[in-house]
Structure 1
Amino acid sequence: MSNITVIGMGLMGGSLIKALKASGKNYNVWAIDTNKENIDCALKDNYILKGEYDYNNIIEDALKWSDIIMICTLPSIALDIINKYKSLIDNNKILSDFCGVKTDIFNNTKDKKYVGLHTMAGKEKGGYSNSSENLFKNSNAIITHNENANENDIKIIENLAKDIGCSKVIVSTAKKHDEMIAFTSQLMHIVACSIVNHKSFLESLGYEGNSLGDHTRVGTIDANMWSELFMFNSEYLSDSLGQYIECLNDFKDALDSKDREVLKKLMLNSNNVKNEWLNKKNVK
């Protein structure tokens, strides 16, 4: 049985406590959130054992009680919590987080037993009211850790990820995580927003096919959260965006020069790379 303190009950934290309950596994959850309504709802529905909306009144008792401390907030808030309450977290406890960027968290937890978790799942709308026990079902999950965490600590967080529904869990470094997330997640949100910001988007009703909806699914975005994630990962994201712009310019140059052969070459290369990607995915 594991005692978990979940700090932050928005979309991710709320979905976490619901998925832990639905798993039927032996997790005792103590939740902390500044929104009293979130805590009251979670207590009423028996998702949590205890809950508190005032950090200062409960944090010391909650951290002492915990086997796992899971911070489900924006990175800036997570860093504030870690730095403020670091002295209360001993190395018998696993310090973890759900943050979408890891390097700054990693750099501020070097003296703790840190095993971070990032589930590749989400919704266009955030908040506890939109949380779901099925949010993580069949999603990928990424674990990052420092040298203070042993194999058993990593296995505990891996098992937690699988218990909440994740189908594939990989272990990565914080640096590699942030580099790849810049491409697989953050760049995709920039692409979606850019298409929605295109002057033709509002005129497209009646002309659109499924591809427009597919490409703009995440075009409705939590600007406060994603702008912070972008800033925390600005170096890797800028580099990934620059590479993408180069790919777009290859198509633009071919169109401007009316070079059909170059267009076909770019498309055939895309076919080959995508097939290679799918083959590797299917093997794994």
Structure 2
Amino acid sequence: MIRTRGETVFGYFNVLILALVSLSMLFPFLHIAAKSLSSEGHVLAKDILLWPRGFTTISFEYVLSNKQFYYSFLNSVFITVVGTIISMALTILAAYPLSRRNLPYTRLLMLLFVITMFFSGGLIPTYLVVKQVGILNTLWALILPGALAPFNLILIRNFFTGVPDALEESARIDGASNIRILASVYLPLSVPALATVGMFYAVGYWNAFFQAMMYITERRLMPLQMFLLQLVTDEKSSELVVPDVFREVTPETVRAAAILCAVVPILFVYPFIQRYFVKGVMLGAVKG
């Protein structure tokens, strides 16, 4: 296909704009990484941009020196993995029947889900519900109250609706039940949508700290984000600092190292998920 001059110029213009947008998002991350690996003098002099000066890993050693970091890390891993599995199961099991045209009162049911996106019971009633249920001061308090996100439900439901009816009809002719159709037809064809929504859930669980501040008081149950928050705000406390070793640690480098410790683990998940974002598994599913 021969491109016109205007299309070529427009393509280069798009590439330039997208490159600038990408750099604008990458710049803060590189700046934080450079600051976390720089020495105290250069950080206090504020001469760090994108490259560390006076290379040192003392800030990361400071963050990783507390055993609570590893306990909090495991708590966050549990919350993210188990929470994502539960959320995906609930989302799929709710989205599939809502995508069926023969389900009565579908619009009413969808309206009930949508209303929760704009109105909630409030902070105090939610806390009282969590307390009465008996999951206060447990990791389940960080998973169950927000296990189903209506926005993600709408995404999966819309994707299921786009699956050709011919696939379901052929499965029913073969005697497949609703569960078998969901597992053998809809889920394999919905891998990109499921991967995207699963990533939404995982990132949300990993980064959540406000729920931990409300429902968790025991230090052993503290998730990683809450631990890093306390590490930054209480960085001069005797519990977290070993004076003989970390005398040169500065608040800015600790803050930068803490941010990287929270971002890097979930960042490693993206390369494994990205391939599903661009793969067209629906292509050729039904012959014309």
Give TM-score scaled by structure 2 length: 0.24
Q: Which structure shows the bigger proportion of residues in strand conformation?
A: 1
Rg larger in 1 or in 2?
2
The structure showing larger relative contact order (alpha-carbon pairs under 8 Å, at least 6 residues apart) is 2
The TM-score normalised by the length of structure 1 is 0.24
